[in-house]
Amino acid sequence: MENKKRKYMTRKRRGKILKRKIIFTLIVVGVLSGYIWSEGNKTIKSIETLANTNEINSEEIIIREVVSETIREVTAYNVGDVNQTDSSPCIGAYSKVNLCEEVAKGQNVCAANFVPLGTELQIIASNGWSFECIVWDRMNSRFGNRVDIAMNYWEKDRAIKFGKQNLTVRILGEKSIVRK
């Protein structure tokens, strides 16, 4: 009898292969549909135009790995409001960042307990609305699976209107830049 050895693929190896397949698929879909991601901005070019230009090497495709995707409760709160936060309303769990200043500058900030501080999340509604934010704050431990979107102090009506929704939340991984 022949000595037959079974070859088992480790979980780490399987993950690497899956990651490569996902990246390859995203690149193919992006190129075939005519969308090129350049420095985070979406620019539409036809495939014919790309084929006829010699400056393709200057194009970059930015790909974000999706670590996980789940449905979670998403709410909104107003930074700077002592009634909605603790006694230091502009200082979040990551004390190096002033939440009031970041939100006023237009940075999308959110609070979540289920990921490390500094993690980027993408929140997607069923109507196609999408929102990316960075986790710079924590919530009360009662709300371990919830995401709380930070809004400006004067946007209380907007936060109330947003309410509590069950939305798709993606945990975004590292950025991969593919140069053409």
What is the mean pLDDT for each group of 10 consecutive residues in the chain (180 residues)? 54 69 65 42 34 48 84 90 73 79 89 92 89 89 89 89 92 79
| 120-124 and 41-44 beta bridge pairing | unpaired
- 23-32 burial by CB neighbour count: b if 16+ within 10 A, else e? eeebeeeeee
Identify the pLDDT of residue 9. Answer: 56
Domain membership of residue 91 (yes or no) is yes
* Sign of the dihedral defined by the CA atoms of residues 103, 109, 112, 118, in that order: negative
> In terms of domains, do 93 and 30 share one?
no
> In terms of domains, do 143 and 89 share one?
yes
pTM confidence score: 0.60
> In terms of domains, do 24 and 112 share one?
no
**What is the domain count for the chain?**
2
Short-list 171, 167, 151, 147, CA closest to 159: 151
Residue ranges making up the domain that contains 55:
11-64
Identify the pLDDT of residue 102. Answer: 86
Rounded Cα gap, residues 112 and 25, in angstroms: 30
Rounded Cα gap, residues 113 and 135, in angstroms: 9
> In terms of domains, do 92 and 37 share one?
no
> In terms of domains, do 75 and 143 share one?
yes
> In terms of domains, do 56 and 74 share one?
no
Identify the pLDDT of residue 27. Answer: 65
> In terms of domains, do 78 and 167 share one?
yes
Rounded Cα gap, residues 80 and 40, in angstroms: 30
> In terms of domains, do 71 and 145 share one?
yes
